[in-house]
Amino acid sequence: MKFFSGLFVMMLFVLGAVVAPPGHAQSDASPQKSPGKSASPEAQAQQKNIQAYIILLRSDVRPQKDEIVGSIMALSAADAAKFWPIYNAYDAELSKLNDQRVENVKDYAREYTQMTDTKADELVQKSFTYQKQRAELFASTYDKVKQACGAVTAARFAQIEHQLLLLVDLQIASSLPIVGAE
């Protein structure tokens, strides 16, 4: 729980720095938006995405991934009919790859207190193999989505999926002790 609250605070800081509106650092004397005016559709969409990621940071990403992807992708019915079968196939293959990752993490957890050079290298090489296979799967899925739904939709998928994968990677990596560290 301590990790998630720390991650949440860090991500709020990062999100605040990255998506702070122009003029955020100006003095209080700067003109404010009048409460009667509504935000532009682009600003509303950005705010919706930020809120989705904040909610995501407060919990484990993996169980809610499909819902998050669906919400942010905002697909038409025609594109959804093309996208979801591709995404579901991708997610099934990713789950198989993640099984390899889980085994590597378990192996690391068993060995990290008495790590040898040989074992450390073996674990890192397995991690590199996993990362390479995941990147290849991701690129292949991007191409399939691009063919089915167009490059803009595929880019949106790639951006969302990349962010979710980074969050999962951070959750996993930060929960593992550093090898050889006391």
Q: Which of 176, 20, 39 is nearest to 113 (CA)?
A: 176
Mean pLDDT of the chain, nearest integer: 76
Specify the pLDDT at position 45: 67
Amino acid at 70: G
Which residue is associated with the tokens 């999100």?
Answer: 15
Dump pLDDT digits (tens) for 120-141. 999 999 999 999 999 999 999 9
Dump pLDDT digits (tens) for 62-77. 667 888 898 899 899 9
Coil/strand/helix, residue 34 = coil
Specify the pLDDT at position 112: 80
Confidence of residue 153 (pLDDT cuts 50, 70, 90): very high
Q: Choose the weakest-confidence range: 27-41, 139-153, 157-171.
A: 27-41
88: part of which helix (H) or strand (E)?
Answer: helix 77-111
Coil/strand/helix, residue 168 = helix
pTM here is 0.66
CB 94 within 8 A of CB 139: no
CB 164 within 8 A of CB 61: yes
Confidence of residue 15 (pLDDT cuts 50, 70, 90): very low
What is the distance between the alpha carbons of residues 177 and 109, in angstroms, rounded to a whole number? 8
